[in-house]
Structure 1
């Protein structure tokens, strides 16, 4: 560990300079690895966090990939530890909380880009398929945001009757279906298309509209409505 002329560890001066640059110039003035350094400050109070931040970037490739990485993979980084992993996951939770609030507080059809950003952030990096439904009221505002099923690496069991039953329980008048492709490619499969048709038809019979089915992945998203599949 290096020390300055006053006998203090060199990283303390570095931390002070990073904090000052962050406050004065804003987060855009810091590259991804320096933001990671700052996130790790609390967990590594007596350690230079730059090597850990650079190790994380080397392993996962981007800030987004780091904060969305599974805990078991983060734990493989030498010296990271439980406290540091908690700090990283806290950042992800805070970001999702803000994005979710932006979606919940306004009509979905007027904030479609925010909805896509939220769904991709919440599900696009997951290692297993998830099937999420946003239930809407007659003003198209979200009354419930629920993960209905979590499946294996490439398959989520979706039961049409359960989806419609839950919509009726919530007195929802519309739904947005969302699921992820862990492969990263959001292109709908035949099974995706067939399942969507079944849910759409069952919902229509009860006066419930399926606005869209969105598939998210690392490579972007696909909209069934945009593709003419719904």
Structure 2
């Protein structure tokens, strides 16, 4: 017998054994067929072959095994804009969507953590010059869809290799406190020689504000006083990112 999806529980557990008698809660055949088609398409063509709502359905299959999850996938995307927005949403906001609950919120946040961990692994311990595009991908993945401002500091060694990535707290929708002395003190503790500031704009527009520019100059002055270099300040938004160094602001 050819090896099929229903024979591969390690990948996708079968919703029902083929030919099993109808039981209470069993998926209607059209839903089971739809799930099988999505799984086949994913295994055959990968994520590029599928829109966001279908990838989200695949995630939801495992959490909600006995009902059609397409409506929930669409409600989540309507609430949060796109798949990255769904994964970045706070658990309480996910649970507020009709049909979602703690199990759905947990699965989505675990998925987000896995995505972040994988993106981070591609840049840690590598020179930022040779892995700049991966670094930008990591920053976008980590911060572009957040609904609160967050500042992260990337610490570099003398070879410009990334040795630490640390959050400096989360603020409101348009402000987050950052203390230059604490940033440079931590750099000395880590033995770093340079750093990159990264923060997001929940509005989606990455254009630096006057406050962003003033704070950057404060951090730059504090770093220079201790022989450290501020390599760049990246502002991340849904619409893209701005590099202070590329814009001549550093």
Please indicate, yes or no, whether the TM-score normalized by the shorter chain is above 0.5.
Answer: yes
- Contact persistence 2:76–2:86 (CA under 8 A): yes
Q: CA-to-partner distance for each residue in 1:106-134, whole Å, 9 max, x for gaps?
A: 11121111111111211122222111100
Find out whether 1:204 has 2:204 as its counterpart: no
Aligned ranges 1:142-221 → 2 under 5 Å: 142-221=162-241
SS in 2 for 1:157: coil
Partner of 2:104: 84
Long gaps (5+) in structure 2: 1-17
**RMSD of aligned alpha carbons:** 1.7
Long gaps (5+) in structure 1: none
Partner of 1:138: 158
* CA distance in 2: counterparts of 1:32 and 1:49, whole angstroms: 13
* CA distance in 2: counterparts of 1:86 and 1:23, whole angstroms: 25
* CA distance in 2: counterparts of 1:208 and 1:61, whole angstroms: 40
Which shows bigger deviation, 58-67 or 137-146? Answer: 58-67
Q: CA-to-partner distance for each residue in 1:38-75, whole Å, 9 max, x for gaps?
A: 10011101111111112222322322222222222211
TM-score (norm 1): 0.92
Given candidates 92, 100, 107, the residue that maps to 1:72 is 92
* CA distance in 2: counterparts of 1:106 and 1:216, whole angstroms: 21
Which shows bigger deviation, 24-33 or 4-13? Answer: 4-13
Question: How big is the shift at 1:228?
Answer: 0.5
TM-score (norm 2): 0.85
Q: How many residues align?
A: 227
* CA distance in 1: counterparts of 2:214 and 2:41, whole angstroms: 53
Partner of 1:104: 124
Change (3 A) 1:105 1:165: closer
* CA distance in 1: counterparts of 2:136 and 2:157, whole angstroms: 19
Given candidates 59, 65, 88, the residue that maps to 1:39 is 59
Question: How big is the shift at 1:213?
Answer: 0.4
Find out whether 1:129 has 2:145 as its counterpart: no
Tell me which of the two structures has the higher relative contact order, counting C-alpha pairs closer than 8 angstroms and 6 or more residues apart.
Answer: 1
- Contact persistence 2:95–2:104 (CA under 8 A): no
